[in-house]
Each structure stands twice: as C-alpha cells, then as structure tokens.
Structure 1
C-alpha cells in the first residue's frame, strides 16, 4: 500500500475548516496523480488482444475522475477552491506520488506488465484486504488512502454543518457527471467521501464498491488481472467470493513497444515524435485548465462538454502515438504528461 504521512491524519484530530480544505487539496492532487499512470498502461495495450484488461483500466480511470470531482465538491462546500491548473499539480515520473505520500513506492509511466500491475495494486491496497484466494502483494504498516479519507470524514463531522457555505457553491452534480454528489452539509460530504473509499478499497466485509453495485472496488478489480479470472460469488466460502469467474487473459504480445518514463527532451527537436508529444501535453494542460474552471464556478454543461472533448482528443492522440499509427516507420511515442501551456504550432 502507499503510505501517507501520519501527520496528515493527526492534524485533523483538532480540525479547522482550513486544515480540512488543505487535506482535500492533497486528496485532489493524489487522485489525479494516479490517472497518467493508469492511462499510460491502458493505451499501451492493443485493445483487440487485451480487451478485458483494457475494460478494467478504463473503468478505474473513470472513477478516479469522479473521485477528483467529489473531493473538489467537498472542498468547495467548505469555502475552499481546488487548484488544478498549475505546473506543480502534475507529478514528476518516476517519483513518489504527491500529496504527502511517504512510501518507498516509486511510480513510473510504464507500459502495462505484471510488474506494473503490482504498482497499481500497491496504490489501491486497503489496510486489511479480504483474504480472497489469490496472490496479493505484501502489506506494510502505512496509512492508506482510505484511512486518510476517513480522517477527513471524521474531521468534517467535528466541524459540523456550520462550516459549510450557504448557499452551496461550485458544485458539479450528477447532471454533469454520473455518480457525483452535491455537497451541502456533513451528511452529503460524508456520503461523497464514502463513495471514494468504497470504490477504491471496498468495505471491511465486501470487495464490492457499494451495496447497490456488483462492481469490485479498484484493488479487487486489479486483483482479477493478477488472478487471471473475474471475481465471483462463492457461497459457503469465507469470505464468500473467489477469483473463479470468466478468464482474464493477458497477451504479452499485445503491448506496444514504448519508452519507459518518457520526457519531452527524449524526442529529437523538430521530429514528428516531439511534435506529437508536445501536442498531447498541450491538450492535457488545456484539459487541466478546463477542469479547474469546471470545479471553480464554471459548472455548466458547456464547460463539461469542453472537458469531454479534450478527454476524447487526448485518447485519440495517445492511442495513435502509442500504436505508431501516424508514422509506422518511426518508434512508438509515449506521452510524457508534462505541463505545456503553449500550443506547439506557435
């Protein structure tokens, strides 16, 4: 598991609105930091040869975006303002995850592999994973993301409803993003945080992300890849689940040959690779700026449509770069996920 600084949780034992806002900004930063890692693995896969793994990774990325939204909603409801459109918001790869992570885990931008899968599992691992037959990674004594969110939830309860801005401000609701929760008070804030915890880790008694959903939480979703089979109900077993559903196959030959931890400086200036990477990073930076606006008052359908259009453009660019479609004779290009506020055409 990734290990967060214990001082983060301890600092919330006597909370102030600002200390909770600061913790939530750390949460937004951390939720985002996993997305490039998962996207690099996702787009490194030939979807025709690894459809099940592609589906699992895609579903996790979508929920990480929801977690960013929910954390931002809670932060805004307490009178804060999420900061997303700065160079420092983007982590440096390879490196530790940001947001006060203290783990020895160094996160890389790597094509999908069994080794990279173990990194995904370490990121998402609960404090006490359910002992479902499989081969989970070793645990450590760290504080998990779920425990960090629990400390935030407890701090919000201490602050009480009086800490929330009235009327509600800058909320991205389910009309704009499915699953989003409009936060107005302690109860709705805790519901938003519970969604994040359950989708990431499951509960102490179930690997499923919520009572109304049969979808496994992120950790167990990734465990399906490691186990080579989907999670299935197993009445009579303790716990009553096993990785005995339909096979989840990994075709090693269905991974594009890509650089590890790419940087803009890796690509020759003026080359097609450099231009493609710069254009990707410009689109990525434009997306962060659009999301910043969305979470800071521009919570309109037009703004959400702009964000979705940029996400689709990023997807198309990344898949073309990584599959070598623009120039089959050139090496495949791995997007570097760096801050690029200037259109490379100019």
Structure 2
C-alpha cells in the first residue's frame, strides 16, 4: 500500500467493509495505524482552541480546563493506540508527509466524510467541529446527523482481536504513569486481550461516554462529574451544563449553570497549504520565522514519537517519549505569539500555527 493512501483515501471505510472473516493480521495492523492517525488528527485543532483562550483576565476558566483535560486524554489515546499497534507486530508511522493529517481537511480514512477539520481559535464553529469529531453513533443527546464514528471503528478492531487474540504479542510496549491526569490516562502494556479491551474502552468512553451516561467513566481525579469529550463540547455550544432536570432523573438536558464562551485570541482559519509566504498577503519576516519554528518543532516531535515505538529498550523509549512531550509543550509559546500577529487582509483575525510536517 502506498503511504499517500492513508490520509487522502477512504481507507477506514474500505477496512470496515471487509467481512469479519477476512480481518486478518494485516487488516488489524492497517486498521490500528489508521487509529493512530485519527488520534493524532485531533490534537492540533484542540491545541489551537486551548492556546487561543485568554486566561489573563481572571474570568471563568471552565472551558479552558475542559479543553486541557481533553488534550491530555487525547495524548494518552495516541500512546495507547501506538501500544496497540506494536503489540500486534506493527510500528507506528507518524513522521511521513503523506501520512500526517493536513488542515483544513478530512479526518483520516474517511471517518465522518461530511466533516472538514480546521485550525482556528476558539469559536462556536470550532467547538461544533470538535463535537462532530467525538460524536458517538448513538449519543444520549445529539448535535448533528450521525455517520460511522471513531468509536465504531475501534469496536471493529477489538472484535477482530477477540477473534484472533494470538495476534497480541506484547512487543515494544511503552509504559508511563500519567494517573495525575486522570484514572485512565496512563500508558500501560497491552499484553493480553483483557488489557486491550480495557484500553479500547477508555479511548471510546472518554471521547463518547457510554450508552447510559454522558459522564466520563475515567475522569481526572480532581474532577467531579466530568463529561466525555463529546458532551463537554456540547456544553460549550449550548452555553449550559448538562444535568438531570429537577424531577427527571432519567433525562439529560442543558439546563444547568452557564458555561460562558471565554475571551480568545482571534486566530483565523489556516488556509489550504498554510499561510501564504509570498505575494501581497505575505507575512512579515518575524511571522515567517514563528510559522517555520512551529512546523519544525511539531515535525521534530512526530519524529521522536515514531522512534519511541521502535525501541527494544524500555528505558530508551521512555527517554524519547519525555523528549517528545517537551517538544509539544515547546509549541505553546510560538503558537501564542502567532495568535497576536494580525493578518494583512484587514479581517482583524490573526495568524496561528499550521501544524505542517516538514523534513529536516
């Protein structure tokens, strides 16, 4: 398979159409690689939204805290998906221009084909897009029409492994205690079918909730009643907390306390191919330096992450993972600087990071 097929085709749709009896070892590895790319695809838009929030005024911070929790969850999901790929004999591919999700664009593999994922500051439109990414097939309350969900794809992977549990080898597992971010956020070794089942449940339920509750069954330890990502985003859209209305213990509705949209830096939507570097709309030299720095740091992080799951030495893998996390947090400062630089088109919007993969 050519690498370009992963992000620019309907690969997941094609995999889901394969009859269950034909979902062999190669199918599983192919599918889990797609799951890795799906997890990666969520991080840049969520980070842009989080970094754009102005927290200096001392106002309500609940939306910022919700986004920060979700970002840490997604980082854990990416690591668990990589552990899932190595335990079935694969190796995550993250440092390839043909594979890395591009913005604006679709989710990898044809999931939610109606959805265009874009990078911008926090707005109602961006939050609606976040909710569409996380929407389960059968939500308790719905925002948009349903299509095949990320959770349904994970369920298909799990079904294939239940039918062929011998594919789980426990190879190249990365372990990292991240319980301070939540009860399900640590990277654990996926050496048994039971461990795989638990990991898939965490990924699905933190994003989508369960069939009976919108609450996250694996919350941050400091949280009370933390919602799954999909419902947390809907609270921002509705501007109200999702609660049981008085006298209706079996019903959930947006009738709780206000959830105000926080003030945010007005980052515009990154155009196809990134911000123009030449012509009448070309940025100032210092903006170009910041754009290039963000892309370079992001690409270095992806190269480090790819190397993490190529190591036979667990200690070396852990060190590389720490280096990758440092790179990710190093993106915040130049990204926020870009969000303070006004676009030359008179829109009042600002620049922001492009999250484009570049070669060294």
Q: Does the TM-score normalized on the shorter chain lie above 0.5?
A: yes
Alignment length (residue pairs): 326
In the alignment, which of 168, 179, 191 is matched to residue 186 of structure 2?
A: 179
User: Partner residue of 2:294?
Assistant: 280
- In structure 2, runs of 5+ residues without a counterpart are 1-9, 180-184, 343-347
User: Partner residue of 2:43?
Assistant: 35
User: Partner residue of 2:168?
Assistant: 164
In the alignment, the residues of structure 2 paired with residue 340 and residue 270 of structure 1 have an alpha-carbon distance, to the nearest angstrom, of 21
User: Partner residue of 1:44?
Assistant: 52
Displacement of 1:241: 4.1
In the alignment, which of 294, 299, 315 is matched to residue 332 of structure 2?
A: 315
Q: Secondary structure of 2:110's partner?
A: coil
Structure 1 residues 331 and 6: alpha-carbon distance in aligned structure 2, compared to 1, 3 A threshold: closer
TM-score normalised per structure 1: 0.85
User: Partner residue of 1:217?
Assistant: 228
Q: Secondary structure of 2:226's partner?
A: strand
Q: Secondary structure of 1:88's partner?
A: coil
Displacement of 1:269: 7.0
- In structure 1, runs of 5+ residues without a counterpart are none
User: Partner residue of 2:6?
Assistant: none
In the alignment, which of 302, 309, 318 is matched to residue 319 of structure 2?
A: 302
Q: Does 1:138 align with 2:147?
A: no
After superposition, what is the alpha-carbon deviation per residue over 1:108-128, rounded to whole angstroms, capped at 9, x for unaligned? Answer: 212211122111111111111
In the alignment, the residues of structure 1 paired with residue 258 and residue 314 of structure 2 have an alpha-carbon distance, to the nearest angstrom, of 41
In the alignment, the residues of structure 1 paired with residue 89 and residue 116 of structure 2 have an alpha-carbon distance, to the nearest angstrom, of 34
Q: Secondary structure of 1:265's partner?
A: coil
CA root-mean-square deviation = 2.6
Structure 1 residues 21 and 231: alpha-carbon distance in aligned structure 2, compared to 1, 3 A threshold: same
Q: Does 1:229 align with 2:247?
A: no
In the alignment, which of 177, 199, 203 is matched to residue 196 of structure 1?
A: 203
In the alignment, the residues of structure 2 paired with residue 219 and residue 299 of structure 1 have an alpha-carbon distance, to the nearest angstrom, of 34
Displacement of 1:202: 0.7
User: Partner residue of 1:79?
Assistant: 89
Q: Does 1:256 align with 2:265?
A: yes
Q: Secondary structure of 1:247's partner?
A: coil
User: Partner residue of 1:23?
Assistant: 31
Q: Does 1:206 align with 2:182?
A: no
User: Partner residue of 2:73?
Assistant: 63
Displacement of 1:180: 2.0
In the alignment, the residues of structure 2 paired with residue 181 and residue 331 of structure 1 have an alpha-carbon distance, to the nearest angstrom, of 42
TM-score normalised per structure 2: 0.82
Displacement of 1:238: 4.8
After superposition, what is the alpha-carbon deviation per residue over 1:25-53, rounded to whole angstroms, capped at 9, x for unaligned? Answer: 00110111111111122222212356222
After superposition, what is the alpha-carbon deviation per residue over 1:282-339, rounded to whole angstroms, capped at 9, x for unaligned? Answer: 00001111111122226433222212211221112212221349xxxx9843111111
Structure 1, 276-285 or 89-98: larger mean CA deviation: 89-98
Structure 1 residues 233 and 333: alpha-carbon distance in aligned structure 2, compared to 1, 3 A threshold: same
Q: Does 1:123 align with 2:155?
A: no
User: Partner residue of 1:92?
Assistant: 102
Contact map agreement 1:69 1:295 (CA 8 A) in 2? no
Greater relative contact order: 1 or 2 (C-alpha under 8 angstroms, separation 6 or more)? 1
Displacement of 1:281: 0.6
Contact map agreement 1:21 1:75 (CA 8 A) in 2? yes
